[in-house]
Amino acid sequence: MYIVKLDVISLGEAIIDLIPIDHFTYKACFGGAPMNTAIACAKLGMRVGVLTAIGRDALGEIIVRTLNQYGIDTSRVRRLPYRTTLAFVVKLPEGEREFFFYRKPWSLSADTELRLEESDYEYVCSSKILHLTGFSLSQEPARSSILTLLENISGKLMVSLDPTIRLDVWKSIDDLRKTMKRAIEYIDILLATRSELELLLEVRGLEKVIESLRSMEFKVAGIKMGRLGAILIEDEKAIYMKSFKVEVKDTVGAGDAWNAAVLFGISKGDKIEDILCLANAVAAIKCMHVGAISGLPTYEEVLKFISVKGIPEYRYL
């Protein structure tokens, strides 16, 4: 038997995001989807730990120092003799963005070199939920190490996956699908964008995506659609809710914040209607600030935001 000490452990890439401020200026910000989710979880009041690899450089120290500021357990952060991974963010119309990376397969950096040990399996099992990203599975040796972990902890706690698909870091779409199919065998909670799900499940259209997710029997599945809102599926129940209307300054990290609120609600045993409303609110609040972790709210701040804005329109599917 394992003693539960943490609510969630986030596993995967720790990255410095370089975000454009104007045409010639970039701002270095804390990043990496699982690390963003870890901080959002901590802000909501969860007990959080992380498993990741950073470089022995100043950027790696920024990541550790930031995690520590939010009370996150960093005892399992590996400091490796490489550079910390970088991501350049390119803003697109309608507030969306794309990334290009300084890491494998383009250059060697710390996050892909994560190797887990048996003691890490015990650490993971001290948590209620393990959250990881598909991004972290894109390259070896991290891929095989994480898949072995999933096999060893299967059935001992809930496992959540955000595919976080960035085709730039994968060998091919076939490699992506094959790897994700292996990982999904161990997943209880799947949280992804509509476009990611269409790519992974090889279907087109929202109805087909929902039908496929229902057939896969996840505990909870989420479909993130940005400004169009989001969907949560639990058993035969599926609910769609519009997004909150806010002044959007930056969407980087919004999906990670949304994930955190879903994990928070699941850990509390909340109804999916309440979880979806909370998740949409947390994501909206994040979008009002520049940077993946800037402006992340506490639980009390989210409740106040919802009380002022009101619950968005929703319907059952």
* Side chain identity at residue 251, one-letter code: T
Asked, for residue 84, whether it belongs to a domain, the answer is no
Specify the pLDDT at position 292. 85
Q: Which of 159, 171, 225, 219 is nearest to 197 (CA)?
A: 225
Whether 81 maps to a domain, the answer reads: no
Q: What is the pLDDT of residues 232-254, one digit of tens each?
A: 999 889 999 999 999 998 888 99
303 part of a folded domain: yes
Sheet containing 85-91, strands listed edge to edge, beginning at the edge strand earlier in sequence: 26-31, 15-20, 85-91, 97-102
Q: Residue 129 sits in which domain range?
A: 6-13+33-53+115-316
- Residue 133 within any structural domain of the chain: yes
Identify the helix (H) or strand (E) that includes residue 16: strand 15-20
What is the average pLDDT score of the chain? 94
Report the C-alpha gap between 7 and 99 in whole angstroms. 30
Q: What was the pLDDT predicted at 78?
A: 96
Q: Is the pLDDT of residue 19 over 90?
A: no
Please give the model's pTM, rounded to 2 decimal places. 0.94
Residue type at 86 in one-letter notation:
L
pLDDT tens-digit profile of 74-91?
Answer: 999 999 999 999 998 777
In sequence order, what are the beta bridge partners of 289? Answer: none
| Residue 198, domain CATH | 3.40.1190.20
66 within some domain: no
pLDDT of residue 95: 56
Q: Spell out the residues 6+ positions from residue 196 whose beta carbon is closer than 8 angstroms to its own.
A: 163, 165
Distances (CA, A) of 26 to 13, 17, 36, 102: 21, 9, 19, 15
Report if residue 205 sits inside a domain: yes
